[in-house]
Chain A
Amino acid sequence: MSSEPIQIKILLFAALREAVGKNELTLEVAPRVTPTEVWNRLVTDHPALKDYDNTVMVAVNQEYAQPWVELKAGDEVAFIPPISGG
């Protein structure tokens, strides 16, 4: 299997968007990286995100996903802080 880096799209909402200052990022990552690994990298770059370590949820390609799934090139990965619709 190729070990060439892949590109993924990251979406951030609400408080996470404000902590990072952007709602969308494109990251180059190792193949088969997991959302948890991506999150940890974001937290390193933006320490304010650490407050959400225990409450953030993940969606991959607009569907809730486990944080340990392996990501593929072109995936859209959204980090979802506690929701408050209604």
Chain B
Amino acid sequence: MFRLTDTAIDLAALEAAVRRPENGGMVIFVGTVRSPSHGRTVRYLDYEAYRGMAEREMERIAEKVCEKWGVRQLAIVHRVGRVEVGESAVAVAAASPHRRQAFEACQYAMDRVKEAVPIWKKEHCTDGERWSLGNVSSPE
């Protein structure tokens, strides 16, 4: 499952996407909207994505995860549009026969989401709005 959604992230569906009899565990990371952020009070975030390419980059991350850890069950979901403080903005699930691979694959995949998937957030704070500075994207 590699998708963008403009409604709340369904963690049960994410978990179901990676649960398999041959896996002994899964690691799920959920990123939530934080306030304060860098000393500013956040009202909400507004995410914009390059639809099509964003999902394709998620699939490329999964290919890399499979190559590095042999982990085949990976799922990534990212919100687009307005997301309130405390809500989930992104979730990554990795499942594998043994826990170490699942932990490592989940961390790697989340790091790569922030480095390569074309998504942007505008921070709407009590003192104004601005595009998050972000990372210059780094394709593999």
Contact = CB atoms under 8 A, between A and B. Distances in A.
B6 interface: no
The bracket for how many chain B residues form the interface is 20 to 34
Contact of B134 (A11, A59, A64, A84): A84
A83 B135 contact: yes
The bracket for how many chain A residues form the interface is 10 to 19
B53 to A, nearest CB: 4
B57 to A, nearest CB: 8
A83 B56 contact: no
A21 B50 CA distance: 17
Contacts of A55: 136
Interface of B: 31, 47-50, 52-53, 56, 78, 89-90, 110, 113-122, 131-137, 139
Interface of A: 11, 13-15, 17, 55, 57, 59, 62-64, 78, 80-86
